[in-house]
Structure 1
Amino acid sequence: MFLIKYFSRVLPLCACLIICSCQAQDSEPLFITTGAEQMDQYLPTLKGKSVALLINHTSLVGNTHLLDTLLASDVEVVKIFAPEHGFRGDLANGEQVDDGVDIKTGLPLISLYGKNKKPSKEQLEGIDIVIYDIQDVGARFYTYISSMHFMMEACAENGISFMLLDRPNPNAHYVDGPVLDTARASFVGVHPIPIVYGMTSGELALMVKGEGWINQSEMLDTKVVKLKNWARDSSYALPVSPSPNLPNAQSIALYPSLCLFEGTNISMGRGTDFPFQAVGYPDSDFGNFQFTPVSIPGVSKYPPHKNKVCYGYDLRTVTPPNQIDLFYLIDFYQKSKNKTDYFNAFFTNLAGTRELRKQIEDGWTEEDIRASWQDDLDQFKLNRKKYLIYK
């Protein structure tokens, strides 16, 4: 049985002090320690180095931001790179992330979201090592790992070391979904992995390098500062919301299933107090639960079906299954009166394959769709074994 001892913090998610499940009941609790909190493991490496950071608001050492922690430790941080949602994590999905200067430190801030997804040689000039420290949620289309991919490649091509401070993956306890067809690769799916890949960012980074998924992968000097006392089945509640529309553990657990609705004309609760915890459409035939999306600055500026009453399902109290849940996706397609408008072109990017849309349109059952993934999932699990760090 997992034990979780909560403490209060003024943050979007209720933070918690985590106790690992892999100890005897009569032993002392083993608290999970992130890579960033193990400063003795990486500060010596940074001594005398020119350091850049690929970070955001989740890059915490206790209650202090990693940037402030490193500067207080006399580390020469020279540049900050920011992923989707920005350095402060306060920009809505798809919102422009601009280059600039960090007001507090005066350091240059380079956006890796938008046209500039991969750092240029000029942007990396004079840098010895890049540190990546961002909380992920373990879904292929969550773009932080895409930014990690392109930074790793840029470091390999420019002879710069890459260090990753590992963090728990709250969806690491299962592996599911179609494996991405590399012909369908995009910024919401760079690697040939399933939607839920069951690895930490550190483990995935080792796989990216080991499988040669980046140019000049053999040239990349890579170091992962590992977690302490964490296993794939450990309970873990994030200390801060990883992005504006994932405000709590329920939304994070449902995200791998509900994000597929981004490729349809269905609302998944953006523009409400419960994003990724409801699905609906402006038609009373779609369900009894009602909600009205509105524009929320910094969260959902242009939510689907803005200011329209949507009808569907309230998922705030359901128990998320340990698999991709296709029921709602298929159910709403079947209820749709104009099926040609149900999917949009983005769906294939999210699914990572053209097959899932075709299977739903052809009337496949969820069981048959899931069975079609199995061979690729088995092969992926076999390939990833050599990169796993944790139990």
Structure 2
Amino acid sequence: MRLNVLKNTVLLFVFIMIYFGCLAKPSIENLKQENILTQNDSTIIVAANRTPEYLPLLEGKSIGIVANQTSVIFKTDQTYTHLVDSLLKLDVKLTKVFSPEHGFRGTADAGEVVKDGIDTKTKLPIVSLYGSNKKPNATQLKNIDLLIFDIQDVGARFYTYISTLHYVMEACAENNIPILILDRPNPNGRYVDGPILELEHKSFVGMHPIPVVHGMTIGEYAQMINGEKWLENGIQCELTIIKAEHYTHDMLYHLPIKPSPNLPNDQSINLYPSLCFFEGTNVNAGRGTQTQFQVYGSPFLKNQEYSYTPKSNLGAKHPKHKDKLCYGVDLTNEKLLNQINLSYLIKAYHSTTNKTEFFNSFFTKLAGTKKLQKQIEGNLSVTEIKQSWKTGLDGYKKMRKKYMLYN
């Protein structure tokens, strides 16, 4: 009798441990359903951390670098050093820093002109690649033997770091300077979605015939730019890509450092491809709040349960509808998206009291086509609109396969 009781007690204990073990380690599928964004798989190693792979390529050369606040070498999950500081400490001959939108330290507003300057810490000259000078010229590239590109992207066509990549590649190809890309995972790399950009609507927020969510890392995207001969006159840049280790596109990837002032967390990065369309409307997408790209609202959206008032803050000195009460929707607890959600945009359009001024000219640049605005104004459903994207997306996915570095 005592033996049976002991056996039953042991079995019960085992079942309890298994049960709580399952609770402690939920599957990725469960995490997706519950909208819990996982921390990085501890096995992922970003390319910047793989110094033995690329330091020999820098030896004896004069190096330039395209970098911002995300260009770091991780020590632990919580600590890191900037790549520029690390390379200087390793006696690499860094001579110049090129900075993208938001600047080298990543604090400038979206669209704010970033000036050239000197980095206060390293005393290196900084050349801005945002504003009137988006492409390095021959003088700025003089005496550079190799250019490093290491910037964290978020996988959306209108996020301008890939436009900077294009111009840097073009300038280096014209001046016979090779580029070394230190690759990083794409936090929106799990899917491909959106209308394909039509080249007559090409701009700095969309330079290539790709969908809104392209599903590629910077390294993969650079290979596509080269392979499809999208640089001026079809020239190609000499590329070397150091891959991130143990990364696959189906992984949920957490960014320890916000990639720009108005993408402060995983939720904003996940919602960004869907909410950025509001930048081309009279709706505020959370700029001027602490929940950027996690809420949207406007003085013209009445009968909404949620409201907020945009104020001047870091990264949004002059937010849309500044100091005006906006009515809208709170998406801070929205479940994880694995596609573009057009319902936010369509709902806002049908709810506005000011339809004639809902869209502005910037919307077509963001969408990459005039069709999307016409479809929404014509009361097409989400299903009908997305069906119109299918042929373009199928062709893009076929092209994309040639350039993939990760499963």
| Within-5 A mapping of 1:322-337 | 322-337=338-353
Judging changes above 3 Å, is the alpha-carbon distance between structure 1 residues 277 and 219 closer, same or farther for their aligned structure 2 residues? closer
Report the Cα distance in structure 1 between the residues aligned to 2:94 and 2:28, rounded to whole angstroms.
39
Q: Give the corresponding residue for 1:31.
A: 43
Q: Which runs of structure 1 show a deviation greater than 4 angstroms over 4 or more consecutive aligned residues?
A: 216-219
Q: Give the corresponding residue for 1:348.
A: 364
Cα deviation, residue 107, structure 1: 1.1
Alignment of 1:160 with 2:177, yes or no, is: yes
Gaps of 5+ in 1: 4-14, 20-29
Out of 37, 40, 43, the position equivalent to 1:18 is 40
Report the Cα distance in structure 2 between the residues aligned to 1:145 and 1:321, rounded to whole angstroms.
22
Q: Give the corresponding residue for 1:10.
A: none
Q: Which has the larger radius of gyration?
A: 2
Counting aligned pairs with the same residue, the percent is 51
Q: Deviations over 1:164-201 (max 9, x none)?
A: 10001000000000011111110000111100011101
| Amino acid across the alignment from 2:363 | F
Q: Give the corresponding residue for 1:268.
A: 285
Report the Cα distance in structure 1 between the residues aligned to 2:379 and 2:363, rounded to whole angstroms.
17
8 Å contact from structure 2 (residues 226, 236) kept in 1 = no
CA RMSD of aligned residues (A): 1.5
| Amino acid across the alignment from 1:142 | Y
Alignment of 1:104 with 2:104, yes or no, is: no
Alignment of 1:173 with 2:197, yes or no, is: no
Report the Cα distance in structure 1 between the residues aligned to 2:146 and 2:233, rounded to whole angstroms.
17
The structure with the greater share of residues assigned to helix is 2
Judging changes above 3 Å, is the alpha-carbon distance between structure 1 residues 36 and 286 closer, same or farther for their aligned structure 2 residues? farther
Q: Give the corresponding residue for 1:370.
A: 386
Report the Cα distance in structure 1 between the residues aligned to 2:145 and 2:233, rounded to whole angstroms.
17
Out of 204, 209, 218, the position equivalent to 1:201 is 218
| Amino acid across the alignment from 1:51 | I
State TM-score, norm by structure 1.
0.92
Report the Cα distance in structure 2 between the residues aligned to 1:116 and 1:283, rounded to whole angstroms.
37
Report the Cα distance in structure 2 between the residues aligned to 1:320 and 1:363, rounded to whole angstroms.
26
| Within-5 A mapping of 1:104-183 | 104-183=121-200
Q: Count the aligned residue pairs.
A: 369
Report the Cα distance in structure 2 between the residues aligned to 1:382 and 1:78, rounded to whole angstroms.
40
Alignment of 1:72 with 2:84, yes or no, is: no
State TM-score, norm by structure 2.
0.88
Q: Give the corresponding residue for 1:304.
A: 320
8 Å contact from structure 2 (residues 38, 252) kept in 1 = no
Report the Cα distance in structure 1 between the residues aligned to 2:54 and 2:110, rounded to whole angstroms.
32
Cα deviation, residue 334, structure 1: 1.2
Alignment of 1:212 with 2:229, yes or no, is: yes
Alignment of 1:94 with 2:111, yes or no, is: yes
8 Å contact from structure 2 (residues 301, 351) kept in 1 = no
Out of 255, 258, 264, the position equivalent to 1:247 is 264
Report the Cα distance in structure 2 between the residues aligned to 1:262 and 1:231, rounded to whole angstroms.
31
Gaps of 5+ in 2: 1-26, 30-36, 75-79
